[in-house]
């Protein structure tokens, strides 16, 4: 029996890795919807190759280009945020949520509300709307499968175990490209240096998040929602080789780890076939060649984003949404050359200090908090000495 799939963020790094696996197992999967933001040309190419029922661009100005690029194919074209949500409601058996940023939240929530299986890569949506999202999973009976390599590792290590027998969960972090940089060196880094991750090939935003280690902070909040063992049982260790993707220690002091090459196709494959397994073309793990695995404690002084995220998770309420919104805005400004690398965490910290609304009680409320946090962050950035 074929499984029907929809891929949100199909033209991105995770989306393309997912389609690469589908390409390898064409007989097992059928594509319902593929989406992008504005990249109509690549989206149309993918829609033709995989014979998608519908292709959706979030950016309405890309609609004409999409229609033209799909001319003569059987794929329907659509555009705009409402079309994105409608595509998520089409009832695919399995949906990949791989839009970057909080922009992915509405279709992700719609896919969850549809009660099927959602493979979640879009960490910003879970960080921002964690309580609302987990309540929707509970209500709809949807199956939420974590795609992020760390959470996927934890999910696999928990198979057959019981969460109430977990003593500690340890998320591993590569430490990013600036792991050994001094603060002075970090002050001067460029966007090109920040997106050049030593182990993983990823989109620009998550690459910068890895460089500031905000990515690990966001993952801590993700883990807090996905694996409710309590924040004091969630730990982070820097592991520069990115071979161990995370670990679960049980009460008997037995620790289970999941290992693999740093290739997103491996965790994606585990969600695509779950609860079965499918083959991938990924590199096998050659431990003799890697020869040593190293570990060190994270440095909270050079990477303050880690503490900001932990404090936000402890505060709960609107804090994680504000953290995420300010970070999205600051990362975009850094990538555009408007602020420096170290300004990113400062902007997030000052936004959190200057804005403390009540906990979001609905998605609409959450979006208003998100929008206000973004405008706080932008006005803070305008006051920075070297803001362009
Ligand atoms: P990319 O930047 O490579 O791709 C993002 C995708 O989202 C593209 O298809 C893009 O379309 C689409 N998109 C961007 N903005 C919008 C918007 N406003 N509305 C609708 N669609 C939009 O990102 P990644 O694939 O690297 O990451 C995707 C998500 O997965 C992120 O949340 C990231 O944190 C998470 N993740 C990524 C990993 C990785 O290895 N890359 C690992 C673990 C998690 P277009 O091409 O048209 O711009």
- Establish whether residue 271 lines the binding site of ligand 1, counting it when its CB lies within 6 angstroms of any ligand atom: no
Q: CATH number of the domain that 56 lies in?
A: 3.40.50.720
Q: Are residues 83 and 107 in the same domain?
A: yes
- Establish whether residue 58 lines the binding site of ligand 1, counting it when its CB lies within 6 angstroms of any ligand atom: yes
Q: For residue 56, give every residue at least 6 positions away whose Cβ sits within 8 Å of its Cβ, in sequence order, or none.
A: 33, 34, 35, 36, 77, 78, 79, 83, 84, 87
> By the 8 A CB rule, do 76 and 54 touch?
yes
pLDDT in tens, 139-184: 999 999 999 999 999 999 999 888 999 999 999 999 999 999 999 9
- Establish whether residue 99 lines the binding site of ligand 1, counting it when its CB lies within 6 angstroms of any ligand atom: yes
Q: Are residues 7 and 123 in the same domain?
A: yes
- Establish whether residue 191 lines the binding site of ligand 1, counting it when its CB lies within 6 angstroms of any ligand atom: no
Q: Are residues 25 and 141 in the same domain?
A: yes
**Closest protein CA for atom 5 of ligand 1:** 12
Residue 2 DSSP class: P
pLDDT in tens, 238-272: 999 999 999 999 999 999 999 999 999 999 999 99
The minimum-distance atom of ligand 1 relative to the CA of 42 is 46
Query: For residue 30, how far is its CA from the centre of ligand 1 (angstroms)?
Result: 22
- Establish whether residue 98 lines the binding site of ligand 1, counting it when its CB lies within 6 angstroms of any ligand atom: yes
Average pLDDT over the chain reads 97
Q: Are residues 55 and 136 in the same domain?
A: yes
Q: Are residues 7 and 85 in the same domain?
A: yes
Q: Which domain holds residue 207?
A: 152-262+284-301
Average pLDDT rounded to a whole number, residues 124-147: 98
> By the 8 A CB rule, do 231 and 310 touch?
yes
List the one residue out of 8, 66, 6, 57 whose CA is nearest residue 31. 6
Q: Are residues 294 and 332 in the same domain?
A: no
Kind plus residue range of the DSSP H or E element containing 167: strand 166-173
Q: Within a 10 A sphere around the Cβ of 365, how many other Cβ atoms?
A: 16
Number of H helices, E strands in the chain: 17, 11
Is the pLDDT at 387 greater than 80? The verdict is: no
**Radius of gyration of the chain, Cα coordinates, nearest whole angstrom:** 20
**Closest protein CA for atom 40 of ligand 1:** 202
Average pLDDT rounded to a whole number, residues 94-116: 97
- Establish whether residue 7 lines the binding site of ligand 1, counting it when its CB lies within 6 angstroms of any ligand atom: no
Q: What is the pTM of this model?
A: 0.97
Q: Are residues 165 and 50 in the same domain?
A: no
The minimum-distance atom of ligand 1 relative to the CA of 204 is 2
The minimum-distance atom of ligand 1 relative to the CA of 264 is 40
* Residue carrying the six token digits 């946090």: 373
In a domain, 309, yes or no: no
Query: For residue 145, how far is its CA from the centre of ligand 1 (angstroms)?
Result: 17
Q: CATH number of the domain that 345 lies in?
A: 1.10.1740.10
| Region of 80 on the Ramachandran plot (φ > 0 left; ψ -120 to 50 alpha; else beta) | left
Q: Where are the alpha helices (DSSP H) in 159-254?
A: 183-187, 191-195, 204-212, 214-226
Q: Are residues 48 and 76 in the same domain?
A: yes
Q: Are residues 135 and 14 in the same domain?
A: yes
Query: For residue 109, how far is its CA from the centre of ligand 1 (angstroms)?
Result: 16
Q: Are residues 142 and 28 in the same domain?
A: yes
Number of domains in the chain: 3
**Closest protein CA for atom 36 of ligand 1:** 121
Domain stops at, among 301, 329, 362: 301
Query: For residue 10, how far is its CA from the centre of ligand 1 (angstroms)?
Result: 8
CA 377 to chain centre: 21
pLDDT tier at 388, thresholds 50, 70, 90: very low
Q: Are residues 29 and 7 in the same domain?
A: yes
pLDDT in tens, 312-358: 999 999 999 999 999 999 999 999 999 999 999 999 999 999 999 99
Distance from C-alpha of 322 to C-alpha of 357, rounded to nearest angstrom: 9
pLDDT in tens, 172-196: 999 999 999 999 999 999 999 999 9
């Amino acid at each position: 029996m074929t499984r029907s799939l929809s891929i949100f963020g199909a033209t991105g790094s995770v989306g393309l890795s997912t389609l690469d696996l589908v390409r390898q197992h064409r007989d097992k999967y059928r594509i319902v919807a593929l989406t992008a933001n504005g990249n109509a040309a690549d989206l149309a190419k993918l829609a033709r190759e995989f014979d998608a029922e519908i292709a959706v661009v979030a950016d309405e100005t890309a609609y004409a280009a999409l229609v033209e690029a799909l001319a003569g194919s059987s794929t329907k074209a659509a555009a705009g945020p409402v079309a994105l949500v409608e595509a998520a409601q089409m009832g695919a058996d399995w949906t990949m949520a791989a839009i970057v940023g909080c922009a992915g939240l509405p279709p992700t929530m719609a896919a969850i509300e549809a009660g099927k299986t959602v493979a979640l890569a879009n960490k910003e949506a879970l960080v921002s709307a964690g309580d609302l999202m987990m309540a929707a999973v509970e209500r709809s009976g949807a199956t939420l499968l974590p795609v992020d390599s760390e959470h996927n590792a934890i999910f696999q290590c928990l198979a057959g175990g019981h969460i109430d027998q977990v003593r500690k969960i340890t998320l591993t972090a590569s430490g990013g490209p600036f792991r050994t940089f001094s603060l002075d060196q970090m002050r001067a880094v460029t966007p090109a240096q920040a997106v050049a991750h030593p182990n993983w090939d990823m989109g620009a935003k998550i690459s910068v998040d890895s460089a500031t280690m905000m990515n690990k902070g966001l993952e801590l909040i993700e883990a807090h929602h996905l694996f409710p063992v309590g924040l004091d049982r969630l730990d982070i260790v820097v592991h520069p080789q990115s071979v161990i993707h995370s670990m679960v220690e049980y009460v008997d002091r037995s620790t289970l780890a999941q290992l693999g090459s740093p290739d997103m196709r491996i965790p994606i494959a585990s969600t695509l076939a779950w609860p079965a397994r499918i083959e991938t073309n990924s590199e096998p793990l050659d431990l003799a060649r890697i020869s040593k695995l190293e570990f060190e404690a994270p440095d909270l002084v050079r990477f303050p984003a880690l503490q900001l995220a932990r404090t936000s998770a402890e505060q709960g309420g609107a804090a994680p949404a504000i953290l995420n919104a300010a970070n999205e805005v600051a990362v975009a400004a850094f990538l555009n050359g408007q602020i420096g690398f170290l300004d990113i965490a400062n902007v997030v910290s000052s936004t959190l200090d200057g804005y403390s609304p009540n906990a979001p009680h609905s998605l609409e409320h959450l979006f208003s908090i998100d929008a206000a946090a973004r405008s706080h962050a932008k006005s803070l950035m305008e006051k920075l000495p070297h803001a362009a």
